[in-house]
Amino acid sequence: MTRLTWEPITLHFRTPFRVSYGSSESRRAHWLRLAGDEGWGEGTIPPYYGISDDSLAAVWAAAARRADPFPDDPADIAAWLAADPVIAAGPAPARAALDLALHDRLGRHAGLPLHALLGLPAPRPLPTSFTLGIDEPEVMAQQAAELIGRTVIKLKLGAADGRDAERVAAVRAARPDATLYVDANAGWSPEAAVGHIEALAALGVALIEQPVAKHDIEGMGFVQRHVAVPVVADESLQTLADVDRLAAAGVGGINLKLMKVGGVGPGLAVLRRARALGLGVMLGCMIETAVGATAMAHLMGLADWLDLDAPWLVADDPFDGLTYDDAGRVHVPDRPGIGVSYR
């Protein structure tokens, strides 16, 4: 029997989703399963990261060829992955899929949910942001009004039409009660970002995510020095070393995503380093299935902000996992491992 299998799937958005990079109606994802239904993993990344399906499959094929046993302790997962040069050098989402599946396996064997397996604080229900893609201001306002009971709304900005402030003003008028985050997806220059954020702060925006290009870490710091709103790095955070660079630049926080850093093990290392350096921590996700988003939700006890809305954005997620209550708070399943099941 093959020790693991994987399969590409297409996830469809509930509505077309536009960010500063472009618009899409679907997203490619991959699930991975250890033989005997022992563990589920996921490797998913947006196309603008430039990671091919073949490069993901090469890593998983290398893992499938190995004859050595899977690790029996969470502390040994990193070493097991690093022992194979193809896996160790592979793209982060491929390594994340294996990391998640191996953690899920051990949690299932131990009869413990992932957070308990890792000795983490029990996830306390926190409100997640629910994301609205770029659209006409009146459309975004209507969408926000329909998010009844959801207390945190994130707006994608960075369009070239110069109407970002109109979009935020329209949403604020529709939802005066909501906490608003904005995400420019690297759509502004540092100088322009300062001007935009000053205007948005007057509308009660509480957080700004990735205002400038991902490689411009100094630019991220420049923006933070000139605005009071926390500036949170998303695309600028790819590795553990990036945490130190971002802290030195002076940003307010990071958006941690398991698919960017290689799974739960590396994610915890990033989170703990960010905490040690005084950075705020958002737990985020790609447009992915409930496998990845639920794994991340097990870290909620260590988070300041949540952005775990992918299962809500996707119309045809094949997995059951985390759930949302009427106030938009995230709850993890009371099941061993990650806690997901295939529908």
Domain ends where: 98, 116, 134?
Answer: 116
168 and 77 in a single domain? The answer is no
The total of structural domains in the chain comes to: 2
Task: Specify the pLDDT at position 270.
Answer: 98
Whether 264 has a pLDDT exceeding 80, the answer reads yes
For 239, which DSSP code?
Answer: S
The residue-averaged pLDDT of 167-192 equals 96
| Res. 133: pLDDT tops 60 | yes
pLDDT at 119: 98
Q: 44 and 14, same structural domain?
A: yes
Supply the Cα-derived Rg of the chain in whole angstroms.
Answer: 19
* pLDDT value at 329 more than 60: yes
**Whole-number average pLDDT of the chain:** 96
pTM for the predicted model, two decimal places: 0.96
Same domain, 49 and 128: no
- Nearest Cα residue to 288 out of 11, 1, 22: 11
pLDDT of residue 22: 78
Please, which pLDDT band fits residue 293 given cuts at 50, 70 and 90?
Answer: very high
| pLDDT tens-digit readout, 11-61 | 999 988 888 877 899 999 999 999 887 899 999 998 888 999 999 999 999
pLDDT confidence of residue 23 = 83
Average of pLDDT values for 175-191? Answer: 95
**Structural tokens at position 254:** 């990071």
CATH number at residue 26: 3.30.390.10
Same-domain pairing of 226 and 136: yes
Check if the beta carbon of residue 130 is closer than 8 Å to that of residue 284.
no
Say whether both 197 and 285 belong to one domain.
yes
26 contact partners, CB below 8 Å, separation of at least 6: 10, 11, 12, 13
64, amino acid identity: A
Using an 8 Å Cβ cutoff, are 87 and 56 in contact?
A: no
Q: Are residues 10 and 101 in the same domain?
A: yes
Rounded average pLDDT over 206-221: 97
Confidence category of residue 132, pLDDT binned at 50, 70, 90: very high
Q: Which of 116, 136, 170 is the last residue of a domain?
A: 116
Is residue 189 classed as helix, strand or coil in its secondary structure? coil
pLDDT band at 280 (very low <50, low <70, confident <90, very high): very high
CATH number of the domain enclosing 214:
3.20.20.120
Residue 1: count of CB within 10 angstroms of its CB: 6
Q: Which residue has the tokens 């933070």?
A: 224
Average pLDDT over residues 136-156: 96
Same domain, 164 and 110: no
CA angle, corner 331, sides to 330 and 336, nearest 5?
Answer: 140
78/49 same-domain check: yes
Please list, residue by residue across 45-83, b when 16 or more beta carbons sit within 10 angstroms of its beta carbon and e when fewer do: bbeeeebeeeebbbbbebbeeeeeebbeebeebbebbee
Expressed as residue numbers, the domain containing 277 is 121-342
Structure token digits, residue 68: 């050595």
- 178, 42: one domain: no
1 pLDDT higher than 90: no
Question: How confident is the model over 84-102, as pLDDT tens digits?
Answer: 999 999 999 999 999 999 9
Cα–Cα distance measured from residue 163 to residue 9, given in angstroms and rounded to the nearest whole number: 35
**CA gap 265, 41 in Å, rounded:** 13
Per DSSP, the three-state class of 274 is helix
Q: Please tell me whether residues 229 and 267 are part of one structural domain.
A: yes
Q: Indicate whether 23 and 94 sit together in one domain.
A: yes
The DSSP secondary-structure symbol of 91 reads -
Q: Are residues 171 and 319 in the same domain?
A: yes
**Which runs of E-coded beta strand occur in the chain?**
4-19, 22-34, 39-42, 126-127, 130-132, 152-156, 179-183, 205-209, 231-233, 253-256, 280-284, 305-307, 319-320, 323-324, 329-331, 341-342
Pick the last residue of a domain from 116, 150, 183: 116
What is the amino acid identity at position 198?
E
Is 208 in contact with 236 (CB distance < 8 Å)?
no
Give the Å distances, CA to CA, from 10 to 7, 26, 271, 316: 10, 7, 30, 9
